[in-house]
Structure 1
Amino acid sequence: MRNNGKVLARTSVAVGASVVLAATTVSTAQAAARDGHCDAGEFCLYWGNERTESLSDFTGSISNYGDSQPTCYEFKGAGRGINTCVKNNAISAWNRTKYKVTVYYNSGYGGAEMTYYPGTWGNFVPELLNNNASHLFRSL
């Protein structure tokens, strides 16, 4: 009996630790996604030149940024542009993911495009400057 009690106690501790770890992982992931900070693993669009002003951070592809509140993706970070819809208002981007990310002129991944490779950043080409509606994550 005593031996079974020790095994059960160890199992309970291991299960309890797993639950705590899982809960911590989920809350950390939720805190990092769409929080107005450009964290590792995110693709970020900026309202201003050279990664300045308010930003909007993403962890996946978006086929349509949306035209108006309350259904659009907005700039969340501090600075000019905060709470403005991203669509047709972004000027620069930073790719902090392990994917190549292509920004498109049109919704649905169409029209003029510009690709950011992992770790790169910069202002949009003239065709996309304040004319951007979607982005697509793709494997290298």
Structure 2
Amino acid sequence: MNKFTKKVLAGAIAAVAVLVATPAASAAARDGVCNTNEFCLYWAPESLGSLSDFTTSIGNYGTSQPTCYEFRTPGLLGYGECIKNNAASACNKRSKAVRVYFNSYHEGVYDTIPANACRELSKTLFDNASHLFL
């Protein structure tokens, strides 16, 4: 093996080692999968149906396309529907609580979803318009 081939081979091995040693990047928000550090609203009770996943607070879910936040899990009930006034349950995979509000801009009655918990919405069941990361 000549010096050039050895350098190319060494570079390739180093690149593979970096890729293997590098932890996977956190999953992308708004991809229809409820990942660590995300808050997710579900179309159906018991965290079933299509979901909408978030990494930030949202002041107004919107009521129609193309400007609403929608359920994003293809092939499941609720997929593509706007989430405003359509969510039945939530999972909070964050380290702090999240509140789901009846009204836009974090007003009115709310359900609090504790850190690392899934819950049925009760006060905001099918009447939800915003959420706030606490």
Report the TM range for the smaller structure's normalisation: 0.7 to 0.9
1:94 to 69, 73, 91: 91
* Match in the other structure for 1:60: 56
> Identity, % of aligned pairs?
52
Amino acid at match of 2:124: L
Does 2:76 correspond to 1:75? no
Q: Secondary structure at the match of 1:53?
A: strand
* Match in the other structure for 1:109: 106
2:124 to 109, 113, 128: 128
Deviation, 1:122, is: 1.3
Could you state the TM-score of these two structures normalised by the residue count of structure 1?
0.76
Number of equivalences? 116
How far does the alpha carbon of each residue in 1:85-136 deviate from its partner, in whole angstroms, 9 at most, with x for none? Answer: 00000000000011210000000100110111111111111x3110000000
Deviation, 1:69, is: 0.2
What is the distance in 2 between the residues matched to 1:120 and 1:33? 19
Could you state the TM-score of these two structures normalised by the residue count of structure 2?
0.79
Unaligned runs of 5+ in 2: 1-10
What is the distance in 2 between the residues matched to 1:99 and 1:129? 21
Higher strand residue share: 2
Q: Secondary structure at the match of 2:66?
A: coil
